[in-house]
Amino acid sequence: MSINRIKWKKKDHFRTLTAFILNALIVIALMAVALLIKVGGIKQIIQVTMQETKLIAFIVVSVVLTFIASYAFYYSQYRDFMYKTSNIFMLFGVLIISLVANYAFGKISVYLRPFALCALLALLLSDKRSAVFMNCIYSILMLITDVLTGLNVNDLLFSFIVGFTSGIIAVFAVDGEGSRVKVLTRGALISIPAIISTFVASYTTDYKHLIYSLLFALGSGILADALMMVILPFFEMAFGALTNFRLAELTDHKAKLIKELSERAPGTFSHTIILAMIAEACGNAIGVNPLLCRACAYYHDVGKLNKPEYFTENQSGKNPHDDLMPELSTDIIRAHAKDGAELIRKRRLPEALASAAEQHHGTLPIRYFYIKASKFTDGELSVENFCYYGPKPQTKENAIIMICDACEAKVRTINRTHENVDKAVKDIIEERMEMEQFTECDITMRELQIIRNTITNVLSGVYHERVKYPKLKTGGKRSV
């Protein structure tokens, strides 16, 4: 179950419930259009409505009840997610597009329907549990649509069973990682329920009809994958959805902001590359999205692009802080967190990256300049004036970035034996716990221990001792 942290007000309940009602009305309207297409005109649909009053009333009530159940599920399990109305419209936009696509291709053949489309899109835009639930809702609504449009019993049952099972297989067969081509090749696997059901339903018919039906069934999974790849970028752009495909694109070294970082702040870029590797390993270890951890690591320090020469890793000579008062140096250093978030938002990149940039130092003090300033004052100096502005990490991913960022920097300065690295990582985690930096995210003590072990193992491997190669004399004149 997800952790719900946002406090809702009455207007939030009204706003989100209104969004669900609007989506329910859209689905009912689409079903009315499907009925209109079936009967062939307004007069005929009025006549059908009068004759089938009970059936149509039952269908409307069924749709409403289905959406009420959906609201209850998302309110209890994904309350923070559905707090944003755009997320509600995104998920139900997936549902509506899938219903339209299945209805449209069903006109060609019931076996050709892209049954798994809804599950695939929901999986890549949310998570497995949400995708399973959306697949169930889709199966119910498709069944209602088929009943309303008078599909024969055999095809109706075929669509319901294959739609449900194909979607479930898609959720657990496609992990959303790897290239789009890799995911496309799994279309044949998604088609297995359709192929089996088609063979059972059609084996008594003529040979030619069976072959065509089986080809359509095979095409249903491939079609679902192809439509997913065509539709997904529109959801990524329209709703700012952060899919694994999008994350892979954002962490390409040719991405504009990453390229700028490598050219203008090469030291920061080098730090970022190692940090990304550590953060990805930590994400894998505790079960959060490793690609998101990697992307957050790539973008966490982009605020240093404003004044790269003021950060140690980019300096090759004189340190400009030597000529500045500690208070001014503090302002420059801590500004990079806010500057990074603003730059990311200005470039219209995902909010998750902006929050990582803003939160990766939390409200920690900048020790070096605090101690330096203390030497210039006789009175007591407030450490709060030398702290980052925050906020503290709000997610596990941002907590990982905070820990890994400090560990990577610290390990560069010590004798890097496994024991020394482990002690440095342990000290950094404990220090942040004492400063209450993890009080606003749901990371556990067990996960912090796993993160500690992971960072120690990765950094010990990165900075391992190397063999000292003996000099080799060649021809008695040169040594290499």
Q: What is the pLDDT of residues 428-471, one digit of tens each?
A: 999 999 999 999 998 999 999 999 999 999 998 776 555 565 66
In terms of pLDDT, which residue wins out, 31 or 480?
Answer: 31
Q: What is the domain range of residue 65? A: 10-241
Average pLDDT, the chain: 89
Tell me, what's the pLDDT at 101? 96
pLDDT of 12 strictly over 80 = yes
Shared domain for 231 and 261, answered yes or no, is no
Shared domain for 296 and 438, answered yes or no, is yes
Q: Is residue 480 part of a domain?
A: no
Q: Is residue 471 part of a domain?
A: no
Q: Is residue 151 part of a domain?
A: yes
Shared domain for 250 and 142, answered yes or no, is no
Summarize pLDDT for 403-424 with one digit per residue, the tens: 999 999 999 888 888 999 999 9
Domain end, chosen from 198, 215, 241, is at: 241
Q: How confident is the model at residue 2 (pLDDT cuts 50, 70, 90)?
A: low
Shared domain for 66 and 155, answered yes or no, is yes
DSSP state string for 282-319: HHHHHTS-HHHHHHHHHHTTGGGGSSGGGSGGG-SS--
Q: Is residue 5 part of a domain?
A: no
Shared domain for 257 and 382, answered yes or no, is yes
pLDDT of 478 strictly over 60 = no
Q: Which tokens is 212 given?
A: 């065509």
Q: How confident is the model at residue 473 (pLDDT cuts 50, 70, 90)?
A: low
Residue 234's alpha-carbon distances to 63, 71, 255, in angstroms, are 27, 25, 19
Residue 307's alpha-carbon distances to 84, 269, 315, 369, in angstroms, are 35, 14, 11, 17
Mean pLDDT throughout 76-81? 91
Tell me, what's the pLDDT at 208? 82
Q: Which of 46, 39, 176, 27 is nearest to 102 (CA)?
A: 27
Summarize pLDDT for 146-165 with one digit per residue, the tens: 988 888 888 899 999 999 99
Least confident of 23-27, 34-38, 105-109: 34-38
Q: Which tokens is 11 given?
A: 């207007």
Summarize pLDDT for 162-184 with one digit per residue, the tens: 999 999 999 887 655 545 556 56
Question: Residue 379: phi, psi to the nearest 5?
Answer: -85, 180
Chain centroid offset of residue 262 CA = 25
Q: How confident is the model at residue 1 (pLDDT cuts 50, 70, 90)?
A: very low
Residue 180's alpha-carbon distances to 216, 223, 230, in angstroms, are 22, 14, 11
DSSP state string for 373-414: HHTT-SSPPPGGGGB---PPP-SHHHHHHHHHHHHHHHHTTS
CA distance 166 to 104: 18
Q: Is residue 478 part of a domain?
A: no
Q: Is residue 44 part of a domain?
A: yes
365 three-class SS: strand
- Would you put residue 293 in left (φ > 0), alpha (ψ -120 to 50) or beta? alpha
CA distance 432 to 438: 7
Domain end, chosen from 241, 257, 285, is at: 241
Q: Is residue 42 part of a domain?
A: yes
H or E stretch covering 163: helix 153-173
Tell me, what's the pLDDT at 388? 97
Q: Which tokens is 300 given?
A: 């966490």
Shared domain for 17 and 111, answered yes or no, is yes
Q: Is residue 280 part of a domain?
A: yes
pLDDT of 120 strictly over 80 = yes
Domain count, the chain: 2
Tell me, what's the pLDDT at 41? 63
Tell me, what's the pLDDT at 45? 62
Q: How confident is the model at residue 5 (pLDDT cuts 50, 70, 90)?
A: low
Share of the chain above pLDDT 70, in %: 89
Mean pLDDT throughout 390-403? 96
| Interior/surface letters 345-370, b for 16+ CB within 10 angstroms, e for the rest | eeeebbebbbbbbbbbbbebbbeebb
Residue 112's alpha-carbon distances to 76, 103, 106, 158, 248, in angstroms, are 36, 10, 7, 12, 31
Residue with tokens 């898609």: 170
